Amino acid sequence: MDFGFSQEDEDFRTEARAWLAQNADPRTDRRTWERTLGRAGWIGLGWPEPGYGNRTAGLTQQVVWAEEYARSPAPPRCGHIGENLLAPTLIAHGTEEQKSRFLPPIAAGEELWCQGYSEPGAGSDLAGVRTAAVREGDRYRISGQKIWTSLAHEADWCFVLARTDPESRRHHGLGFLLVPMDQPGRIEVRPIRQMTGTSDFNEVFFDGAYARVEHVVGEEGRGWEVAMSLLGFERGVAMLAQQIGFAEELGAVVRAAAESGAVRDPVVRARLVRQWAELRTMRRHALRTLGGSAGPGAPSVAKLLWGNWHQRLGELAVQVRGARAAVGPADWSPSAPYELGADQHLFLFSRADTIYGGSDQVQRTIIAERVLGLPREPKGAV
């Protein structure tokens, strides 16, 4: 399925492009930028319920906004976890009180969220969660550790998957809790330094942190159902915006190949053409997924496609530069963080693309079991 854009959609594109041209500045602090988006109503376009300070937009208009945003010089988003993951989950499973409390500040860009799913012993296998939440009166006391938590150092709240029944196993007895991050002495955030020299992820330690009973989404013990529902929101319109960024990265690699002379190598030319063709295929797949006709394995197929594509692009980016790819853009000093060029950053960061968000192995297992109907992989008790 492809989308035809009506005149109303094109008018929406014109408005979005004009607003971004006037307001988007890459130097703007990310938190300030979220509030700017919120004041103009650009957060929560896809929410089916209006009235939280957000505009509403149809599917094609959401595609238009995502593409125009990706093409603009706007700062990277820091509110997307609340907007695109938690908000749809609350709309689907939350109480009216929860929606009234949390959706307006998300739409205003005032409260930022992070996702407390993965643990050192439960990464892609979320059923192995060990973080415990013990009820004490009108609160839950939370103890445990989460890892690879994006934006935890900036977030005001975290939605946490925790075990509310200590006798439960696997996906039973879990709770989906909304936890305030401002709890000194009870929540500690430690940045994880990556190969790129940056710290995009964090470890989060809960030592008696609390969450109110009314901030449990979908009732105690139904956390697995809510968590799986949320994962379904991770794919969609954002995939199309992601591919705009991929196209820009591919264009930079093509230009580097032309400048270095690597494009004269037939093997390099073939790899460049393959990257271009596969990017077009991913766009078609993303559009088909948005049309609702791609089947239950579509998110896993999409993750396999883009994760491996982006990793191969990183490898190609350093290949076309040859020996120069081993040298950074600035002189190295043991007393200062090292700097990377865009191609080096792409190569190093993309090594994680086939791991985070569900590893390739997990995605293939999902396709095998849920789409092809193959026997389920045996799992031991936790």
Residues marked active site are found at 234
Alpha-carbon distance 161 to 168, whole Å? 14
DSSP string for residues in 105-148: HHHTT---EEEE--BTTBSS-GGG---EEEEETTEEEEEEEE-S
Alpha-carbon distance 370 to 363, whole Å? 10
Alpha helices in the chain (DSSP H): 7-23, 30-39, 59-71, 80-81, 87-93, 96-107, 223-232, 237-260, 266-290, 298-319, 342-349, 360-366
DSSP string for residues in 307-327: HHHHHHHHHHHHHTTGGGGGS
At 150, is the secondary structure helix, strand, or coil? coil
Judged on CB neighbours under 10 Å (0-12, 13-18, 19+), 84 is buried
Q: Which DSSP letter does residue 203 get? A: E
Alpha-carbon distance 159 to 315, whole Å? 35
Q: Are strands 216-221 and 201-212 parallel, antiparallel or unpaired?
A: unpaired
Residue 89 token pair: 């989950």
Answer yes or no: are the C-beta atoms of 93 and 226 closer than 8 Å: yes
